[in-house]
């Protein structure tokens, strides 16, 4: 699943002193809420008869099962299902049905214990069709002629297959699935496997491989399919009728990626077809889902429209396709045994998306871009509310908390660090052996480490992996010049008392200097000295997951070389100097001076990162004194870049330059640059008169700037465009722009619109979240006041994280009391999401109190 990360925020941290600490062991797990293991499903035969107009469906499930140990009941998962006749082969009497809504289970209780053996359980039932992406759900849209349409899709991860059919809805319980769907005339039904037959309007699909329940998929609607034969696999893209041309880019990407993955994993893709299925709408939680053989994507993550899409959209589509296709091996063919090893799916797919994208599009420099995601993980990982990558997950409700930057971005960062440490060839050999040995089965993290240790026996991969995955936190590597070279020591980088407990990590550290390159494993218990001549770069290439701190003497020699460093190391110095500056471990002037001295001709990814970092610091001011001086400083750094890039695309420029142009101009608009805002308004007015004057990135750039600086007339003009748009992706974006205004009255107007009934159900959460980007307290208060109504539009397992995310960017101490009240209303296993928001607000308040005045003093003498 391609997770949607929350908005990045600034951070405050401190370093814990280095002490001798024992290597981590996996903590004892809390008692898990799981199904009994005395009955095992072998095969499901599920028939679905949807009534889309009335948001309900009826179903029949025949489950071939094995009773492993004598028992008087069969317990499986069920949520929002009602039961009719239930029958078990060999049993004359129907069982008693006992429902547990809290645990989402149904127990079929028999008068006498069932003897071990094979049985067939037949169940008639009925369920709901939802209007948010959980279980079987609808996405409504209009054709270009205004005809209203309704399509059906399913979304089951992490625990919503139980809303589609009664089943063992746990990743460690694999079985074969057969699906039959009643499809109205003219509509296409889609599932994991090819169609195997049709009786009347009932479409039957071939049996799936043995797989976990959350990977089952169904779609039904007015679709068309484009496809290519790639080796033995029929690769297709399924879209709404009329959108076939928009799917060509994704189809081409999939056709390239499939043979690359076949070769890299050493195990060919095993299904006869692979479909990429587009759905018109949005989720507050995810962009795509890796259902085996039928990957689901929201339109914006799969389709390219030349009139509307940007260079960043093209990159994003390729990356998301690469991510979900990587899951066909890591996640689908080999599945984690339980949700505590979710990172095995998501961390690996996040890493592989970058590796594959870099292979086909090295010009995009994706390893540079991915550093911003790693920073999100480090921010979260250095404050209260973090968790180990391999975290205890007591129930499926807690599993929803694991879909975060720790699992995805830290997971992929650790994998990249390990690949660099053991070498590409040995790493790939270990992964190939792991996939081969666990195909169609479940696995745990140590299965992967054992395979890598065999492939690279001198590296002791398991030791490094356990240090980074079984304990939370971020290492801090300090570098100091000595007579023998550069001394490396380790501490802990943390933002509060919860993250100052000393820990040790066996950390692979790359050091590069003019006289050589070294790779050493450094820990709190084992400092190292390398014979590097200053200036030396630690974490050279930025492949390690740690913060880097240079002694003042070493920094004084390194900082002047900033412009000549590789782009990856420029990014590392920018990110680390800001992080350490906000802790007080180093002066904020280190970051501000680097920002001031970043050349306008630096790599576009570096300039993009600089722009976002300057924008994040601007958020700290929030109208406070000194903001005008800070904004003048930030604009002075970005304006020369904007002048060089201009407003319009240039022949022969790189895709990354185009991406940076849009982001940088938008940032200058948010910083109130009068010339930028005026030009955006001029282009916006021309576009209202003639829509052909703006397309693609230029259109989005102008809209983002005028939306942030909107008056009521501009807001109404964008609103009219949103209501008139027939493209679901464009419509949702236009509605989102309504929430971007920095005018509080317009923010109130947007919030009222959100629950007016005008936006489509999947657009409602995004409208409120858009307001939170400028007015987090206002958006949060609105959401709490309308909590019950808003929850109708939210996926059940992500409701807590949605409300907490609205508050995350707050600069008001009163928000902490509000979050405490929210935490008291949610299940204990979901409170970690609220604690993350609390920690974010606390450290932001600390930065505002201690570091903003320091910035003001520096700007007073150096800002010009």
Catalytic residues: 324
DSSP one-letter code for 394: -
Residue 704 CA neighbour count, 13 Å, CB half: 18
DSSP SS3 for 862: helix
Q: Residue 173 corresponds to which tokens in the numbers above?
A: 């319980």
Q: In this structure, what is the dihedral angle of CA atoms 184, 190, 195, 201, given to the nearest 10 degrees?
A: -10
Is 363 exposed, middle or buried, given 0-12, 13-18 or 19+ CB atoms closer than 10 A?
A: exposed
DSSP SS3 for 438: helix
DSSP one-letter code for 564: G
What is the chain's alpha carbon radius of gyration, rounded to the nearest angstrom? 27
Judge contact between 335 and 327, C-beta under 8 A.
Answer: no
Q: Residue 628 corresponds to which tokens in the numbers above?
A: 């005008």
Q: Residue 541 corresponds to which tokens in the numbers above?
A: 């290439």
**Beta pairing partners, 49:** 58
CA distance 12 to 14: 7
CA distance 263 to 330: 14
Q: Residue 483 corresponds to which tokens in the numbers above?
A: 């007579």
User: Pick from 732, 658, 663: which is nearest to 701 by CA?
Assistant: 663
CA distance 320 to 81: 33
CA distance 449 to 111: 47
DSSP one-letter code for 299: G
The angle at the Cα of 571, spanning 852 to 702, to the nearest 5 degrees, equals 75
696: left (phi over 0), alpha (psi -120 to 50) or beta: left
CA distance 379 to 843: 10
Report the first-to-last Cα separation within the chain, whole angstroms: 46
Q: Residue 616 corresponds to which tokens in the numbers above?
A: 């994040």
Judge contact between 136 and 152, C-beta under 8 A.
Answer: yes
The DSSP bridge pattern shows strands 485-494 and 528-530 to be antiparallel
Judge contact between 324 and 289, C-beta under 8 A.
Answer: yes
Judge contact between 816 and 808, C-beta under 8 A.
Answer: no
Largest CA distance in the chain: 89
The whole-angstrom distance between residue 783's C-alpha and the CA centroid of its chain comes to 23
Backbone angles phi, psi at 316, to 5 degrees: -65, -40
Q: Residue 828 corresponds to which tokens in the numbers above?
A: 């204990």
CA distance 488 to 569: 18
DSSP-assigned states of every residue in 33-70: ----SSEEEEEEEEEEEEEGGGTEEEEEEEEEEEE-S-
**Beta pairing partners, 108:** 74, 97
* Residue 579: C-alpha distances to residues 161, 229, 342, 552, 691 (Å): 42, 49, 28, 16, 43
831: Cβ–Cβ under 8 A, 6 or more apart, which residues?
800, 823
**Beta pairing partners, 75:** 107
CA distance 50 to 111: 34
CA distance 445 to 108: 35
**Beta pairing partners, 295:** 276
Q: Residue 473 corresponds to which tokens in the numbers above?
A: 């936190």
């Amino acid at each position: 699943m391609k997770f949607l990360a929350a908005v990045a925020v600034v951070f405050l941290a401190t370093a814990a002193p280095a002490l001798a600490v024992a290597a981590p062991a996996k903590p004892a797990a809390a008692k898990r809420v799981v199904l009994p293991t005395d009955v095992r499903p072998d095969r499901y035969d599920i028939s679905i008869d949807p009534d889309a107009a009335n948001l309900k469906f009826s179903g029949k499930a025949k489950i071939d099962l094995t009773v492993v140990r004598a028992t008087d009941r069969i317990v499986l998962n069920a949520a929002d299902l009602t039961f009719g006749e239930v029958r078990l082969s060999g049993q004359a009497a129907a069982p008693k049905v006992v429902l547990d809504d809290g645990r989402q289970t149904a127990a079929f209780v028999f008068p006498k214990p069932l003897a071990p053996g094979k049985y067939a359980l037949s169940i008639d039932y009925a369920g709901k069709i939802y209007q948010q992406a959980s279980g079987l759900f609808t996405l409504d849209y209009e054709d270009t002629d205004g005809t209203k349409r309704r399509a059906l899709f399913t979304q089951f991860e992490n625990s919503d297959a139980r809303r589609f059919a009664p089943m063992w809805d746990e990743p460690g319980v694999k079985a074969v699935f057969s699906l039959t769907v009643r499809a109205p005339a003219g509509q296409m039904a889609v599932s994991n496997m090819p169609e195997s037959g049709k009786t009347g309007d009932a479409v039957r699909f071939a049996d799936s491989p043995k797989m976990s329940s959350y990977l089952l998929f169904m779609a039904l609607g007015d679709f068309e399919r484009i496809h290519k034969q790639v080796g033995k696999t029929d690769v297709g893209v399924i879209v709404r009728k009329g959108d076939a041309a928009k799917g060509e880019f994704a189809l081409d990407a999939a056709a390239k990626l499939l043979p690359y993955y076949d070769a890299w994993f050493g195990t060919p893709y095993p299904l006869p077809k692979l479909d990429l299925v587009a759905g018109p709408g949005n989720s507050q939680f995810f962009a795509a889902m890796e259902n085996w053989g039928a990957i689901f994507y929201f339109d914006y993550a799969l389709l390219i429209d030349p009139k509307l899409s940007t260079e960043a959209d093209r990159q994003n589509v390729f990356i998301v396709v690469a991510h979900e296709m990587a899951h066909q091996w890591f996640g689908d063919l080999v599945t984690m045994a339980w949700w505590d090893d979710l990172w095995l799916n998501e961390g690996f797919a996040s890493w592989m998306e970058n590796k594959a994208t870099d292979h086909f599009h090295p010009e995009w420099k994706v390893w540079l871009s991915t550093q911003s995601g790693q920073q999100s993980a480090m921010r979260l990982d250095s404050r209260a509310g973090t968790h180990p990558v391999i975290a205890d997950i007591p129930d499926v409700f807690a599993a929803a908390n694991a879909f975060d930057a720790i699992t995805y971005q830290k997971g992929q960062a650790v994998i990249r660090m390990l690949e660099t440490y053991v070498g590409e060839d040995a790493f790939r050999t270990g992964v190939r052996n792991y996939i081969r040995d666990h195909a169609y089965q479940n696995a745990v993290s140590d299965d992967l480490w054992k395979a890598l240790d065999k492939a690279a026996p001198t590296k002791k991969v398991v030791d490094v992996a356990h240090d980074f995955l079984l304990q939370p936190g971020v290492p801090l590597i300090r570098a100091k010049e000595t007579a023998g070279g550069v001394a490396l020591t380790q501490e802990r980088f943390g933002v509060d008392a919860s993250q100052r407990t000393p820990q040790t990590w066996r950390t692979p550290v790359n050091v590069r200097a003019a006289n050589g390159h070294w790779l050493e494993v450094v820990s709190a218990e084992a400092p190292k000295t390398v014979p590097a001549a200053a200036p030396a770069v630690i974490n050279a290439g930025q492949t390690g997951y740690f913060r880097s701190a240079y002694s003042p003497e070493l920094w004084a020699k390194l900082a002047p070389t900033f412009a000549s460093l590789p782009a990856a190391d420029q990014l590392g110095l920018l990110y680390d100097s800001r992080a350490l500056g906000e802790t007080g471990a180093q002066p904020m002037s280190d970051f501000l001076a680097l920002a001031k001295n970043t050349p306008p001709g630096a790599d576009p990814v570096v300039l993009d990162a600089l722009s976002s970092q300057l924008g994040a610091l601007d958020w700290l001011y929030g109208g406070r004194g000194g903001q005008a001086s800070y904004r003048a400083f930030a604009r002075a750094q970005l304006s020369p870049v904007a002048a060089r890039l201009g407003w319009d695309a240039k022949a022969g420029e790189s895709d990354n330059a185009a991406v940076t142009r849009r982001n940088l101009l938008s940032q200058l608009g948010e910083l109130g640059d009068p010339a930028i805002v005026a030009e955006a308004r001029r282009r916006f007015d021309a576009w209202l008169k003639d829509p052909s004057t703006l397309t693609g990135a230029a259109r989005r750039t102008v809209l983002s700037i005028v939306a942030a600086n909107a008056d009521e007339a501009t807001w109404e003009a964008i609103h009219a465009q949103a209501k008139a748009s027939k493209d679901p992706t464009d419509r949702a974006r236009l509605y989102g722009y309504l929430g971007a205004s920095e005018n509080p009255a317009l923010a109130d107007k947007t919030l009222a619109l959100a629950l007016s009934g005008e936006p489509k159900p999947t657009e409602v959460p995004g409208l409120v979240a858009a307001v939170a980007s400028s007015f987090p307290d206002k958006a949060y208060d609105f959401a709490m006041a309308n909590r019950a109504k808003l929850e109708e539009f939210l996926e059940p397992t992500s409701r807590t994280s949605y409300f907490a995310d609205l508050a995350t960017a707050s600069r008001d101490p009163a928000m902490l009391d509000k979050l405490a009240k929210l935490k008291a209303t949610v299940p204990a296993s979901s409170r970690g999401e609220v604690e993350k928001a609390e920690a974010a607000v606390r450290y932001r308040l600390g930065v505002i109190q201690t570091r903003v005045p320091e910035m003001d003093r520096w700007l007073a003498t150096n800002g010009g």
